[in-house]
Amino acid sequence: MVYTPRSARRGALFAGSVAVLGLLTACGTGQTVHSSSPMTSSGTAAPATGDSSAPAPSDTATTPSPASSAPTGAPSTAPTRATATSGGGTTAAASTRCHTSELRASVGRNDPGAGQENFPVVLTNTSGRICTVRGFPGAAFVNASGGQLGPNPGRESGSSTTVTLRPGQSAWAGLTFSSPGVSGAKTAKPAALLITPPDERDHLKVTWTGGEVPVSGNSSAVFLTVFSPGTAP
């Protein structure tokens, strides 16, 4: 048996009492014991924001006004003007996005050139209010059974502008692809083109009368451009 001097035992008991007292004091006051090494926290990304720049005026295009007060979207010979503004703002009329139910879709005549087929995809405001479109449409060629032909069209580079449409006014986006006779791509003849307005989920169906389109093979890609005011380039 190892003998421990009484003075050493008293020192150990005193040190233990001090340690217990320190713990009780910290618990009673709600103090937090910090480590000597600093703590670090990962940074957070700022939330994404929309384009808050003030709209700048740009070129306008002349488009036809409706033939009657009924929201049919049928144009007359009297021209009106659709306005395009840069940035994410709206016009003084506080117009909002055009919804699919407020639009009529059509495909204009082909304007071929340099081995390319170029069709304007047109959306016309058939509602009784001012609304806007901005960016790219969605599109897909389908057969008579509704099956998609070829991949989804790609997007050509270009700056988006907000196109303000009064009732009866139109905006167009280009749909282009290499001429199958030149590219040698595998083709199909669609029954229709499905067009989805920007930021919408529901589509509009347009009978396709533009002939064969490339669906696979060499130069089979179809491309879309952003919307511009009017009905054609």
Which pLDDT tens digit goes with each residue over 7-26?
A: 444 444 344 443 433 433 34
Low-confidence ranges of the chain (pLDDT < 70): 1-95
Q: What's the pTM? A: 0.62
List Cα–Cα distances, 139 to 78, 84, 142, 226, in angstroms: 30, 22, 10, 12
Residue 95's pLDDT is what?
55
Burial label for 115, CB within 10 Å (0-12, 13-18, 19+), is exposed
Per-residue pLDDT at 212:
95
pLDDT at residue 94, as a whole number: 40
User: Cα separations (Å) of 10 from 15, 18, 23, 126?
Assistant: 9, 12, 20, 96
The predicted pLDDT at position 7 comes to: 44
Predicted confidence at residue 226, as pLDDT, reads: 97
Contact 193, 208 (CB under 8 A): yes
* pLDDT score at 8: 44
